[in-house]
Amino acid sequence: MSARGTDPHAIDGKFPVPGQHYDLVVIGGGTSGTQAALKGAQTGLKVLLVDENPVPGHQVGNDVPWFFGGRATAAMQNSERMLETVFANMDHLEPLFDAGVEVQLGTCAWGVYRNGPLVGSLPSQVVGLADAEKSWLVGFDQLVLATGARDLPMAFPGWNQPGVMGAAALGKLLSLYDAFAGRRIVVVGSHELGLETALSAQTKGIEVAAILEVRDAPQADAAAVTAAGIPIRCRTWPVEAKGGLGGVEALVLSDGTTLACDSVVMAIGLVPMLELHDAANAARQFAPNRGGWVPVADSNITAVGNCAGLPDTGFDHVAYRQAWMEALGGACGGDTVICQCEEMTLADLTGVQPPRYLDRPPALQRRSLSTLLADGPPNQDQVKRLTRSGMGQCQGRRCRDQVAMILAAEAKCKLAEVPLATHRAPVRPLPLKVIADWEESEEMRAGWDVWMGIPTQWVPYADIGTPYEEENRRVLGGNMSL
């Protein structure tokens, strides 16, 4: 249209074409991602595969992307050594080099951007990548998400201290990083994830004090675990993790007994990592047998491996989680922390109360989750805005699934009816100086305005129609402030 471009402060033409473009970009260098990259390269595509391992040390402390629970050794802080270790432990990547796939380790994907509803300004669809120093965008025709699944932590008294961690994190620390700081663990959950976690830990020389199961029997074939001498205690769950400065030292169980341990490994479930998919506003569906919300492939973005959903063995992961939440939730007091980043307690959540730096006047104290639910259907983002649950550094990785389950229980609705709390780029926390575009286009720089750039908008009301209006326009040029 001929009149286009007459608004110098609109986004039009300000995003440059990305410097690099690939036919296929694969996010995640596990076995599924590697296969997808190899297949692409064999059909003649120009392929990039990135993997965020080794995860930077400061992310490990924030439990991003796995629930490390403070049980990574100091070796994780040595990025060069970690890169060597990870590279050695990812030998399945080797065929990629021969096939001509470009592989970048220590590189995370933090956003996917496409034109669609409300966005038409991108010159091509891009994925945002970053390493420890910088970020950049690459264009793609096809994107394969092979980001795996993340941990599903669940609160109980004392869970917010070092030593309570996730099964996926333990798996990475043992098999990828050689950097697990624990010696004696208790595994919570006895379906495949829990049993496999216990066995692989034992193989690595870790003592497994017990596997706990909330239901009446192990949830998968436990023959190997029993043969390995690992006790499984059914109808038994944690009621409190006790510890000292170094974190967990013992776990008190629902039957009144106590197990000495330095780590409690939550193996109740895994959640497909659909952050990138969801942040790109791509479709998803709820599949209880595959771990909850899972991505739906479209013409440009496909998920593979656990990112696409856990293997469907007929096991209802969602029902299993709810069984655990009922038991663990029964052990929680009002003062049990639910959101670790924001130190929000269960009482704060069910009371829809603000953080402690704000006063709680009487009218506010009369409000609660039940009054909020009387006003409308459950909405986790709304509860987040009011309580800050899931609003912190880890962006709800540790609490979002549990908060959604609590909302469903309070609203007496199915979990699938609680809208998924939104994921937003950057899906990995990235320092300002790293995510910053230090080489932005001249068009962006020249067209920048703090707000809309409409010359008449910021003219003081009393000045409208006076000579000051023209002066204002001349000096400020439509900017509230540059």
Of 268-297, binders to another protein (CB under 8 A) are 281
Say whether residue 356 binds another protein (CB under 8 A).
no
Query: What minimum distance in Å lies between the beta carbon of 472 and another protein?
Result: 7
Query: What minimum distance in Å lies between the beta carbon of 253 and another protein?
Result: 36
Specify whether the CB–CB gap between 287 and 309 falls below 8 A: yes
Query: What minimum distance in Å lies between the beta carbon of 184 and another protein?
Result: 33
Q: Which of 138, 165, 171 is nearest to 47 (CA)?
A: 138
Which one of 111, 158, 194, 329 is in contact with another protein (CB under 8 A)? Answer: 111
Between the two ends of the chain, the Cα-to-Cα distance in Å is 30
Specify whether the CB–CB gap between 315 and 191 falls below 8 A: yes
Q: Considering only 168-176, 311-319, 391-399, 403-411, which stretch makes contact with another protein by CB under 8 A?
A: 391-399
Say whether residue 350 binds another protein (CB under 8 A).
no
- Region of 120 on the Ramachandran plot (φ > 0 left; ψ -120 to 50 alpha; else beta): alpha
Residue ranges of E strands in 90-215:
102-105, 108-113, 126-130, 135-145, 149-151, 164-166, 184-188, 207-213
Query: What minimum distance in Å lies between the beta carbon of 158 and another protein?
Result: 25
Q: Which is closer to another protein, CB of 3 or CB of 245?
A: 3
Site for another protein in 125-144 (CB under 8 A): 126, 128, 135, 137
Specify whether the CB–CB gap between 95 and 103 falls below 8 A: no
Q: Which of 108, 109, 145 is nearest to 308 (CA)?
A: 145
Which one of 323, 409, 416, 435 is in contact with another protein (CB under 8 A)? Answer: 435
Query: What minimum distance in Å lies between the beta carbon of 267 and another protein?
Result: 27
306: tokens are 């656990």
Say whether residue 481 binds another protein (CB under 8 A).
yes
Query: What minimum distance in Å lies between the beta carbon of 107 and another protein?
Result: 16
Site for another protein in 438-457 (CB under 8 A): 438, 440, 444, 447-452, 454, 456-457
Query: What minimum distance in Å lies between the beta carbon of 5 and another protein?
Result: 6
Which one of 118, 245, 256, 412 is in contact with another protein (CB under 8 A)? Answer: 118
Q: Which is closer to another protein, CB of 97 or CB of 448?
A: 448
Query: What minimum distance in Å lies between the beta carbon of 133 and another protein?
Result: 12
How far is it, in rounded angstroms, from Cα 10 to Cα 34?
A: 41
How far is it, in rounded angstroms, from Cα 61 to Cα 67?
A: 9
Q: Considering only 71-79, 138-146, 324-332, 474-482, which stretch makes contact with another protein by CB under 8 A?
A: 474-482
Site for another protein in 358-387 (CB under 8 A): 358-359, 361-364, 367, 375-377, 379, 382, 385-386
Site for another protein in 61-100 (CB under 8 A): none
341: tokens are 């980043």
- Provide the mask over 295-334, with x wherever binding to another protein is found by CB under 8 A and - wherever it is not: ----------------------------------------
Residues 6+ apart with CB under 8 A from 314: 289
Query: What letters, b where the CB count within 10 A reaches 16 and e where it falls short, cover 82-96?
Result: beebbeeebeebeeb
> What 3-state DSSP class applies to 341?
coil
- ∠ CA(130), CA(299), CA(115), 5° rounding? 60
How far is it, in rounded angstroms, from Cα 316 to Cα 287?
A: 9
Q: Considering only 96-104, 141-149, 183-191, 349-357, which stretch makes contact with another protein by CB under 8 A?
A: 349-357
Q: Which contiguous run of DSSP H or E holds residue 95?
A: helix 94-99
Site for another protein in 414-433 (CB under 8 A): 424-426, 429-433
Which one of 81, 84, 88, 116 is in contact with another protein (CB under 8 A)? Answer: 116
Give the amino acid at 77: Q
Which one of 190, 392, 398, 403 is in contact with another protein (CB under 8 A)? Answer: 392
Q: Which contiguous run of DSSP H or E holds residue 331?
A: helix 317-331
